[in-house]
């Protein structure tokens, strides 16, 4: 069994869906699980629906119709007959979405978020499954929520590995092209949960782990894992082979090609991961596997934009000790702040975080009871693995550096917005 994952950019339109079919002709599709994300920017569009729902906005219905129109245009392009069964299947999903919007009583934002945003993946995989059948490939559409079980930590759920293992081992059929959704799971009451944004890579790794898969391939619009994001750095080069350890380090620091959670289950069973181009599927791409000799020999650059730098200092010049830091981290965890860098002195403590849930205002209110709190919005965090003096100059040149940290392998700097 092999696991393939296609993200939203690869299926953003009818041409993208046709290209998935073409890639499968090259790579093979028997005994394959195809994990697919929502099409294009559908998740963002559904977040607008959620915003309008909670705001009781008059724009709610029009925002739903925008999502429907987008997918309908893809359907019309893909299928010659508008009486094809796929149209009814997709309409049923939109009816389910609209029923939820009219009947839901829960005020829990994160719960509602997961129930609504999940329709992106359900719709995309329904369209793709029908299209593959239309083109002559026998498929099995799997509702991933019947397989991946989680806790009730909506928007960032933790996998129940025992229940998930049993479901996947018992119910996944081999020899077919199985098509399922990335990013989603369900709790013990069968309410939909999500595994965190960009969690489709993680879904692929979960299936691979539970099935002892031969490999996982993530199909991207880039040749593979680069030593830098070409959007921000010139002369980025392809990394042909890297170890699990190095890939985990790069993902931890924010490299966006591979989701951070993806690598751990693969490493435990030494399942190789390939990152390949869906534009040029015959290219070798990047392989991630076991071996210290697979480390890159050139600096790797990672940048995380739109970060928040929080600086705390003691009000009465007392030391910030372990018990204070423990309390600070407990609050960061409570408010779901992802920590990327910390720095402290005797009477100050700074932390660079990703406030993806917009909880800083509440956090600041609590921290201000014990500390003087200042912050910088919209900072950038640069990380260089295997840094050199020349690489450091590339990053630091012309920037207003707020924090700089250097260890044996890694340099990190926080800069003001450019």
Average pLDDT value for residue range 289-313: 85
What are the φ and ψ backbone dihedral angles of 44, each rounded to 5 degrees?
-60, -40
**pLDDT tens figures, 355-364:** 988 999 999 9
The tokens for 64 are 């739903």
**pLDDT tens figures, 154-167:** 999 999 999 999 99
The tokens for 255 are 């490299």
Q: Which of 200, 186, 159 is nearest to 34 (CA)?
A: 200
Give me the pLDDT at residue 285, please: 94
What's the start-to-end Cα distance of the chain, in Å?
Answer: 46
7 assigned to a ligand binding site: yes
- Is 80 exceeded by the pLDDT of residue 293? no
196 assigned to a ligand binding site: no
Q: Which of 303, 311, 331 is nearest to 376 (CA)?
A: 311
The tokens for 400 are 């207003």
Q: Which of 382, 374, 375 is nearest to 418 (CA)?
A: 382
Q: Residue 278: enclosing H or E segment and its boundaries?
A: none
Query: Which residues does residue 148 pair with via DSSP β-bridges, in sequence order?
Result: none
Opening angle at CA 9, ends 73 and 224, nearest 5 = 155
The tokens for 111 are 């719960």
- DSSP-assigned letter for residue 287: E
Whether 341 contacts 403, CB under 8 Å: yes
Q: Which of 248, 249, 229, 246 is nearest to 237 (CA)?
A: 229
Average pLDDT value for residue range 329-345: 92
Only one residue has tokens 């299926």, namely: 11
Average pLDDT value for residue range 357-375: 93
Query: Long-range CB contacts (< 8 A, 24+ apart) of 88-94?
Result: 89/126, 89/130, 90/123, 90/126, 90/127, 93/119, 93/122, 93/123, 93/126, 94/64, 94/67, 94/68, 94/119, 94/123
pLDDT bin (cut points 50, 70, 90) of residue 97 is very high
43 assigned to a ligand binding site: yes
Average pLDDT value for residue range 181-200: 93
**Residue 20 burial by Cβ neighbours in a 10 Å radius (0-12, 13-18, 19+):** buried
Spatial distance between the Cα atoms of 323 and 320, rounded to a whole number of angstroms: 8
Spatial distance between the Cα atoms of 141 and 155, rounded to a whole number of angstroms: 24
pLDDT bin (cut points 50, 70, 90) of residue 341 is very high
> What is the number of other CB atoms lying within 10 angstroms of the CB of residue 128?
24
The tokens for 254 are 């924010």
Q: Which of 75, 91, 181 is nearest to 134 (CA)?
A: 75
8 assigned to a ligand binding site: yes
Spatial distance between the Cα atoms of 154 and 243, rounded to a whole number of angstroms: 32
Radius of gyration of the chain (CA): 23
Spatial distance between the Cα atoms of 61 and 65, rounded to a whole number of angstroms: 6
Angle between helices 119-134 and 85-103 (to 10 degrees): 170
Spatial distance between the Cα atoms of 260 and 311, rounded to a whole number of angstroms: 26
Spatial distance between the Cα atoms of 69 and 72, rounded to a whole number of angstroms: 5
Q: Would you call 199 helix, strand, or coil by DSSP?
A: coil
**pLDDT tens figures, 116-143:** 999 999 999 999 999 999 999 999 999 9
214 assigned to a ligand binding site: no
**Domains of the chain by start residue, with CATH:** 2-213 (3.40.1160.10), 300-415 (3.30.2130.10)
- Is 90 exceeded by the pLDDT of residue 366? yes
- Is 90 exceeded by the pLDDT of residue 230? no
Spatial distance between the Cα atoms of 399 and 416, rounded to a whole number of angstroms: 7
Only one residue has tokens 């423990």, namely: 326
Q: Which of 262, 286, 260 is nearest to 206 (CA)?
A: 262
pLDDT averaged over the chain?
A: 93
pLDDT bin (cut points 50, 70, 90) of residue 328 is very high
Give me the pLDDT at residue 195, please: 95
Q: Strand 300-314 and strand 348-354: pairing?
A: antiparallel
Q: Is the dihedral of CA 123, 354, 218, 166 positive or negative?
A: negative
Q: Which of 335, 38, 72 is nearest to 194 (CA)?
A: 38
Query: Which residues does residue 216 pair with via DSSP β-bridges, in sequence order?
Result: 3, 273
Whether 250 contacts 226, CB under 8 Å: no
5 assigned to a ligand binding site: yes
145 assigned to a ligand binding site: no
Give me the pLDDT at residue 294, please: 64
């Amino acid at each position: 069994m092999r696991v393939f994952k296609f993200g939203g950019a690869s299926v953003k339109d009818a041409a993208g869906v046709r290209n998935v079919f073409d890639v499968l002709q090259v790579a093979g599709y028997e005994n394959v699980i195809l994990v697919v994300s929502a099409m294009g920017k559908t998740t963002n569009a559904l977040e607008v629906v959620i915003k309008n729902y909670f705001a009781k906005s008059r724009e709610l219905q029009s925002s739903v119709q925008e999502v429907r129109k987008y997918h309908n245009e893809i359907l019309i392009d893909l299928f010659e007959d508008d009486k094809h069964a796929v149209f009814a299947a997709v309409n049923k999903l939109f009816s389910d979405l609209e029923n939820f919007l009219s009947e839901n009583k829960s005020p829990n934002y994160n719960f509602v978020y997961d129930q609504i945003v999940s329709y992106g993946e359900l719709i995309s995989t329904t369209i793709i499954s029908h299209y593959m059948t239309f083109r002559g490939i026998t498929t099995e559409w799997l509702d991933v929520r019947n397989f991946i079980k989680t806790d009730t930590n909506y928007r960032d759920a933790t996998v129940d590995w025992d229940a998930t293992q049993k479901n996947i081992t018992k119910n996944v059929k081999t020899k077919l092209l199985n098509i399922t959704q990335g990013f989603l799971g369900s709790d013990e009451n069968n309410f939909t949960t999500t595994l965190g944004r960009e969690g489709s890579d993680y879904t692929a790794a979960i299936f691979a782990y539970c099935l002892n898969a031969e490999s996982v391939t993530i199909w991207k619009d880039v040749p593979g894992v680069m030593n830098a994001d070409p959007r921000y750095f010139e002369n980025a080069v392809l990394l042909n082979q890297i170890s699990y350890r190095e890939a985990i380090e790069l993902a931890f620091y924010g490299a966006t090609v591979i989701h951070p959670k993806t690598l751990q289950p693969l490493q435990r069973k030494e399942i190789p991961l390939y990152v390949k181009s869906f534009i040029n599927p015959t290219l070798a791409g990047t392989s991630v596997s076991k071996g210290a000799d697979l480390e890159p020999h050139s600096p790797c650059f990672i940048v995380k934009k739109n970060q928040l730098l929080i600086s705390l200092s003691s009000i009465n010049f007392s030391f910030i000790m372990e018990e204070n830091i423990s309390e600070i981290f407990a609050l960061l965890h409570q408010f779901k702040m992802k920590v990327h860098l910390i720095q402290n002195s005797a009477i100050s403590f700074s932390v660079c975080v990703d406030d993806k849930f917009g909880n800083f205002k509440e956090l600041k209110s609590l921290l201000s009871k014990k500390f003087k709190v200042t912050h910088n919005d919209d900072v950038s965090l640069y990380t260089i693995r295997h840094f050199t003096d020349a690489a450091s100059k590339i990053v630091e040149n012309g920037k207003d550096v707020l924090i700089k940290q250097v260890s044996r392998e890694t340099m990190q700097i926080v800069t003001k917005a450019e």
